[in-house]
Amino acid sequence: MRPLLAAATALALAIPLRAADPEITFKLDGPAVTPGVGEDGKSLLPEGEKAPPEIALRLDRENATLVWTDATLTRRTFQLDVLANHPGPRPWSDNLAWMVARTRTDFWILWAYVNETGPSCWINSYHFAENRVRMNLFRGRYVFRPPASFTNSPFEMDIPLEKAPAYKGKKFTHKDFGPDGGRFKSLTWLDVNEWKVREGELQVKPLIDLDVHPNNGWATQPWTEVHALARGAEGTRLYYVVTYTAVSHGWVVDLREGQVLKTHFGEAVKVEPKEPK
């Protein structure tokens, strides 16, 4: 090796590599919507036209939206925010990106299984207005190099618990709430490595349950989740709650502040066996 080249190589090795700047962009489309039919029995989609994606995500310097197209081909636009990043279930994905899409009276919670970049990813979502969970493969392009922390502007919402969909899932028991609802006296949440208590009683109403199959990337055993909606006594904070049968901790999404809180509930959910037919 020539001395000049050797010196340049040594200098290059001595300078630490700079990590790539944070960047999050999404241009992803879910599966095409299935159009409904009109009174004449014909599809609402004009002949020759391609059905749009049911869900389209756009996040860049100019856009931050989730666009939902329903079976009537009506489009609704929601403000999209990335809330948090957690390690994903490797080798399936490096990251689990939490996102929320909101209007004043409706919201989506999204869990995206992403790497640093790619042409597709799996995204699970819950939509309040439909009280429905989806698990879809999205295609397009994304970059996910998240910052060390996330900051989102407060978003005011107006969803009374009385307007929450009726729970139609399995019977279950929990220390603080059940199928008919209940209360959390406080929230015990993890701040980095320290458990803290957020005082203030929350009213809780279950929304939906979800069975997770074994060997799912996270664990070899199956579990059941109960998702719920909670509201603070002062009436200004709305929360999305995820509890599990497998563990006593879960997640609480502060929908106004755009925060994801790992929360300790004191015990796991216990789902009652199905009654024989």
**CA neighbor of 100 nearest in space, from 273, 263, 258:** 258
The per-residue pLDDT for range 206-263, each reduced to its tens digit, is: 999 999 988 777 788 889 999 999 998 777 789 999 999 999 999 999 999 999 999 9
Average pLDDT, the chain: 89
pLDDT the model gives residue 39:
84
pTM (two decimals): 0.88
- Per the rule left: phi > 0, alpha: psi between -120 and 50, beta: everything else, 192 is left
The per-residue pLDDT for range 81-102, each reduced to its tens digit, is: 999 999 999 888 999 999 999 9
Dist. CA 204–CA 179, nearest whole Å: 10
**CA neighbor of 55 nearest in space, from 119, 145, 122:** 122
Q: Which residue has the tokens 């309040």?
A: 128
Burial-class residue 203 by CB neighbours within 10 Å (0-12, 13-18, 19+). middle
